[in-house]
């Protein structure tokens, strides 16, 4: 069987232009990132996922690409990328990159040649002579995007763009386009990457009639997976696919399509649970989680680089989460999401932030951490749209948070300078030496997660206990048993776990805010406000009792 490293990985996601500026021009770069790899290694993550770093007009944070085979000159060059990849490898870190092939920038040479009618590229994009009647339906960014079709005067036709009008959709049904996608994948595999986070997978498959062999659109995922495996057996596909659970089988296939899918519905239930201080939404969701192939995996997260998407919640539920974490209109976006950093949504309450990290790391799947969240960084709501959560990494209390020698106003995005989340108060230098800091706590949590493969490999069983505020999960894998308990409320809770540990020796893995009351063979846990506990249960072994024998 091939290497299933991703089943027990912890992924750290970052934006190169916001992580560390080496040359002082106000933009992060690969030299700066390479210089700060020790931070990621010390945190305990073993995989780095890079947001797009390709040449781009940067109208959409680099997701509007003009060249798939190069590095944005602001960030360095291919030589710098290889130096970074080697530095990561030397530290035992794997590298994943974004595969953004649903669309390109309209500045891409392919689109320019397509709009000119070049026979080679004429059908590389989706064109229509007449504007479809439903052009205003299905927009992804309400309030910012007006249509999914835009007229091009040179081509004298309309081109399709599921996202912004400066991002024209590639025609995936064209075999030449699919061949080019494989070439892109092969190029970055040759430079040492171990996988791809595939952007906008459902839209990539949209209206795809399939290859000539008559496969369904989902069959194309199998084609990519086979190519990936031929080139590098350990490489994986991590999909951005905000899908209902009943479609999971189509995307995972029979261990022959996607390796990992972000569990967006679980994330939405997690935020509802945090808003209510009640674990019931997560418990209910996990009980209905569908079976997936043994080698497949979900990806769990608290925050990512986009908005917190609450679109699958009921209207009343979404209102609850807005009221708790994004009550002001400026904090909301696209009528469905919140554009705030996680720590800011929780008011900087370190106990609650750390409990939420523990909970996320204990959920079934591979955890993904957004850079800066391990420090409890805040957001800059003065920045437009989703840029509010893409501010520069806060390394120290020096100017621009140690991210750059440039002035804050000259940085790629304005750092968080004021208030309790400003870099004077929240920075890596201060937290690394504080054993009680969010960084130090997350570091311990990741260490615990990586020592508990039951979570990555086992099935989560929701345990029935008194009180909805406490979420209790049990994992069983290869004879190993792990129980995790999390109090989502700000009120202490008492949990009787004697029935769960009968015949077992209890060994704590980690805890916070816990009092233990042992009575005979019984065990009662008193979880403080936002307290949590991970317990490993080991079968008790019988010990032989030596007896004296009487000799005559």
Catalytic machinery residues: 199, 240
User: Which residue is listed with tokens 């994009």?
Assistant: 125
* CA-based nearest residue to 69, from 191, 172, 161, 176: 191
From residue 33, alpha-carbon distances to 239, 368, 489, 544 in Å are 24, 18, 38, 57
Residue 508 pairs with which residues in a beta bridge? Answer: 535
Element (H, E) at 113: helix 109-115
* CA-based nearest residue to 274, from 123, 24, 469, 86: 469
Element (H, E) at 476: strand 470-477
d(CA 347, CA 349): 5
Buried b (16+ CB within 10 A) or exposed e, 293-310: eeebbbbbbbbbbbbbbb
By the 8 A CB rule, do 275 and 326 touch?
A: no
By the 8 A CB rule, do 31 and 81 touch?
A: no
Burial class (CB in 10 A: 0-12, 13-18, 19+), 478: exposed
């Amino acid at each position: 069987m091939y290497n299933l490293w991703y089943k027990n990985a912890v992924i750290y996601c970052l934006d190169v232009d916001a992580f560390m500026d080496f040359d002082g021009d106000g933009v992060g770069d690969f030299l700066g990132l390479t210089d700060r790899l020790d931070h990621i290694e010390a945190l305990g993550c073993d995989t780095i996922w890079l947001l797009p770093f390709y040449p781009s007009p940067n109208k959409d944070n680099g997701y509007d690409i003009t060249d798939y085979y190069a590095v944005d000159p602001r960030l360095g060059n291919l030589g710098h990328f290889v130096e970074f990849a080697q530095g990561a490898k030397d530290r035992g870190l794997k590298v994943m990159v974004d595969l953004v092939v649903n669309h390109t920038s309209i500045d891409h040479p392919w689109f320019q040649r397509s709009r000119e009618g070049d026979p080679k590229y004429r059908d590389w994009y989706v064109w229509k002579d007449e504007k479809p009647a439903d052009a205003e339906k299905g927009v992804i960014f309400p309030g910012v995007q007006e249509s999914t079709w835009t007229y091009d005067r040179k081509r004298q036709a309309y081109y399709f763009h599921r996202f912004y009008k400066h991002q024209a959709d590639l025609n995936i049904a064209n075999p030449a386009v699919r061949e080019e996608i494989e070439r892109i994948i092969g190029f970055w595999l040759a430079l040492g990457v171990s996988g791809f986070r595939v952007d906008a997978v459902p839209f990539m498959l949209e209206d795809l009639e399939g290859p000539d062999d008559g496969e369904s659109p989902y069959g194309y995922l199998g084609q990519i997976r086979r190519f990936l495996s031929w080139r590098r057996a350990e490489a994986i596909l991590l999909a951005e696919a905000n899908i209902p659970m009943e479609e999971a089988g189509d995307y995972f296939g029979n261990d022959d399509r996607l390796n990992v899918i972000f569990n967006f519905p679980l994330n939405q239930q997690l935020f509802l649970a945090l808003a209510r201080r009640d674990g019931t939404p997560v418990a209910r969701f996990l009980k209905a989680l569908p079976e997936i192939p043994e080698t497949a995996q979900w990806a769990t997260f608290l925050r990512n680089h986009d908005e917190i998407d609450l679109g699958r919640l009921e209207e009343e539920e979404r209102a609850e989460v807005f009221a708790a974490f994004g009550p002001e209109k400026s904090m909301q976006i696209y009528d469905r999401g919140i554009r705030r950093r996680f720590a800011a949504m929780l008011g900087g309450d370190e106990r609650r932030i750390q409990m939420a990290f523990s909970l996320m790391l204990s959920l079934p799947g591979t955890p993904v951490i957004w850079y800066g969240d391990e420090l409890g960084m805040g957001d800059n709501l003065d920045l437009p749209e989703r840029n509010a959560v893409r501010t520069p990494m806060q390394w120290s209390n020096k100017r621009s948070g140690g991210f750059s020698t440039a002035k804050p106003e000259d940085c790629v995005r304005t750092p968080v300078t004021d208030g309790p989340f400003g870099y004077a108060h929240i920075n890596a230098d201060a937290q690394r030496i504080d054993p009680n800091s969010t960084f130090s706590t997350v570091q311990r949590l990741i260490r615990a997660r990586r020592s508990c493969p039951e979570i990555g490999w086992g099935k989560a069983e929701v345990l029935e206990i008194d009180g909805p505020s406490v979420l209790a999960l049990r994992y069983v894998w290869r004879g190993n048993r792990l129980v995790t308990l999390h109090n989502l409320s700000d009120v202490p809770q008492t949990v009787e776990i004697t029935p769960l540990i009968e015949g077992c020796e209890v060994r704590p893995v980690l805890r916070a805010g816990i009092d233990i009351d042992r009575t005979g063979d019984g065990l009662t846990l008193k979880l403080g406000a936002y307290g949590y506990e991970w317990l490993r249960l080991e079968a008790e072994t019988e010990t032989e009792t030596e007896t004296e024998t009487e000799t005559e």
